Homo-oligomer: A and B are copies of this chain.
Amino acid sequence: MEKTSDKSPEKITDKISAPTVMRLSEYYRVLTELDAERQLTVSSSRLAEVGGITPSQVRKDLSYFGNFGRRGLGYNVTELRRALREILGLNRRWNVALVGAGNLGHALHSYQEFRQQGFYVRAIFDVDPSKVGEKWGDIVVSHLDDLAGIVAKEKIEIAILVTPADVAQEVADRIVETGIEGILNFAPRKLEVPDSVMLRNVNLSIALESLTFSLTS
């Protein structure tokens, strides 16, 4: 029935499944579009249709966090969008470091979507002497040896790891040492990090392989 807004001191996030979080991100994106189109309300069925899922899935996902809708009317677009911003932690800026100044790092540096969501690349690191010193936009590529100092000075909270796979673990170790809270790993290798550091992996090959798996056989 009623959920008070008084929450327990422990993390809600632990009880929420990964698929639910991914769907929240998609709802957020759709709501951003609807908001731009001046839509005032949206129903769970509408949200479901866009995301290719069921209306009850949408309602269930949202119900973990509160009662955002109104029976008979649906959800207020602006209100729900703001709620999701907060839930996803997007109602603030995040200082990010790119670790690895290769092509993928370059693409991520200029990825508009990140900036729009509040992710600010504050530093870029590499070990290649020919890259250190390069200017990327308004940021100068630093040597990895300066990681700790710059992370502290720039108050960097998240590292995006885009190094070759064979050095990924040792670079991750150095990132962990700086006290950074989260790592987004693009290197195709499973990393070991302490539980206190949040780790998410993006493997570009896996998506392609899942495609060829389905196209084969």
Contacts and interface: CB of A to CB of B under 8 A. Distances in A.
Interface of A: 11-13, 16, 18, 21-22, 24-26, 28-29, 50-52, 86-90, 94, 102-104, 106-108, 110-111, 113-114, 117, 119, 157-158, 181-182, 184, 188-190, 198, 200-217
A167 to B, nearest CB: 14
A208 B87 contact: no
A212 B90 CA distance: 7
A197 to B, nearest CB: 10
Contacts of A13: 213-214, 216-217
Contacts of A103: 106-107, 110-111
A147 to B, nearest CB: 19
Of A28, A86, A216, chain B has the most CB atoms within 10 Å of the CB of A216
Nearest to A50: B190
B157 A216 contact: no
Nearest to A216: B89
Of A18, A50, A211, chain B has the most CB atoms within 10 Å of the CB of A211
Contacts of A208: 114, 117, 119, 158, 184, 200
